[in-house]
């Protein structure tokens, strides 16, 4: 069965009319409740400070707590409210819970917010407070005994924070397909890792206007061979849906059906290399209708 990691406290990160707002998750949960998906909804644990410290510096963690208490923005795009710090701990805990859940469930999808993949070890940016998928990957390696984690990032924006965290670490293969030029201006094909991590970062930038065919061609031509060579024992997905044709934050043409096919490809890779151990963590997606439909199509693949 597919586990959905969700907590109502994710709605407490109050951002008003900001593109990253609680109505994204409300739309997804309404879509799920109206479906016949074979899922099990699980409440996440709240990440401990030590678990967040697997990725982030102690001073930055204290900064998030302080700025949230005073409702100050971390940068012009990354706002906080009085509940943001506690919500961010639950969001990080959602990724950790998704990894733990794989001990019992077939796969998992952490429907969390605020999102995460732009957050650097010592800096929040791009709507992101803590890098939850980075925390989940480090937790899997350090606490659960996994040895090779592949992170697949199909959010339309490059996950500069995730790349930065694991850039010299061969225990994580970071694969990103994203629009370029686009925020945050990183993710060029020449960025391939550093030191022992060289060749364990793979960036596939695509031009604006790319759609289902271009994405699926990349999955077949680059992702599957990379997984065959790396042989991961766990796959994590930064599942952003802002490459959708109706999303206002980028200029791609992926459809809900395209996300469904992408999920099918990823599931096949997980089934081949790591006994189906697959956890997805929600990233972007700023058209609630397109987002909720696309998530449902992905969950249909996972729950089958």
pLDDT, tens digit (0-9, with 9 covering 90-100), for 210-220: 999 999 999 99
The model carries a pTM of 0.97
Tokens found for residue 267:
């599931």
pLDDT by residue (tens digit) across 140-178?
999 999 999 999 999 999 999 999 999 999 999 999 999
| Percent of the chain predicted with pLDDT > 70 | 100
Looking at residue 84, what is its pLDDT? 96
Residue pLDDT, tens place only, 205-244? 999 999 999 999 999 999 999 999 999 999 999 999 999 9
Q: Count Cα atoms within 13 angstroms, Cβ side, for 12.
A: 15
Q: Which of 34-38, 137-141, 170-174 has the lowest mean pLDDT?
A: 34-38
Residue 115 banded pLDDT, cuts 50, 70, 90: confident
Distance CA 262, CA 145 (A): 28
pLDDT at 210: 98
Prior bond of 4 cis (ω within 30°): no
Helix (H) or strand (E) holding 150, with range, is strand 149-153
Of the candidates 13, 118, 244, 273, the residue annotated as catalytic is 118
The two tokens of residue 206 are: 């695509």
DSSP annotation of 253 reads B
Query: Is the pLDDT at 304 greater than 90, yes or no?
Result: no
Q: How many domains, in total, are found in the chain? A: 1
Give the mean pLDDT of 184-200.
98
- Structural domain range at position 188: 2-303
* Token pair recorded at residue 231: 């042989």
CATH classification of the domain holding 296: 3.40.800.20
Q: To the nearest whole percent, how much of the chain has pLDDT over 90?
A: 97
Question: Each residue of 43-100: pLDDT tens digit?
Answer: 999 999 999 999 999 999 999 999 999 999 999 999 999 999 999 999 999 999 999 9
Condensed to tens digits (0 to 9), the pLDDT of residues 254-292 reads: 999 999 999 999 999 999 999 999 999 999 999 999 999
pLDDT for the residue 266: 98
Q: How confident is the model at residue 116 (pLDDT cuts 50, 70, 90)?
A: confident
Is residue 118 flagged as an active site residue?
Answer: yes
């Amino acid at each position: 069965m597919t586990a959905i990691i969700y907590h109502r406290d994710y709605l407490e990160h109050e951002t008003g009319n900001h593109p990253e707002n609680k109505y994204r998750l409300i739309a997804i949960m309404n879509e799920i409740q109206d479906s016949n998906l074979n899922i099990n909804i699980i409440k996440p644990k709240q990440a401990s400070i030590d678990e967040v410290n697997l990725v982030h510096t102690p001073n930055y963690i204290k900064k998030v707590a302080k700025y949230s208490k005073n409702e100050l923005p971390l940068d012009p795009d990354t706002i906080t409210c009085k509940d943001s710090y506690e919500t961010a701990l639950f969001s990080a805990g959602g990724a950790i819970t998704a990894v733990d859940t794989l001990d019992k469930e077939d796969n998992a999808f952490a429907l969390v917010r605020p999102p995460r993949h732009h957050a650097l070890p010592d800096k929040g940016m791009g709507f992101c407070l803590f890098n939850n998928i980075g925390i989940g990957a480090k937790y899997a390696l350090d606490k659960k005994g996994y040895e090779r984690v592949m992170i697949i990032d199909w959010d339309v924006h490059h996950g500069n924070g995730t790349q930065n965290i694991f850039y010299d670490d061969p225990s994580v293969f970071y694969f990103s397909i994203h629009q370029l030029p686009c925020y945050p201006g990183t993710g060029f094909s020449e960025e391939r890792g550093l030191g022992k991590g060289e060749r364990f970062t793979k960036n596939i930038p695509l031009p604006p206007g790319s759609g289902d065919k271009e994405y699926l061609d990349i999955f077949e031509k680059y992702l599957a061979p990379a997984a065959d060579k790396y042989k991961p024992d766990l796959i994590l997905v930064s599942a952003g849906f802002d490459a959708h044709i109706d999303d206002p934050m980028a200029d791609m043409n992926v459809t809900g059906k395209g996300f469904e096919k992408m999920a099918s490809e990823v599931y096949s890779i997980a089934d081949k290399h790591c006994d189906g151990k697959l956890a997805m963590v929600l990233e972007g997606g700023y058209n609630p209708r397109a987002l909720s439909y696309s998530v449902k199509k992905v969950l249909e693949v996972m729950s089958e």
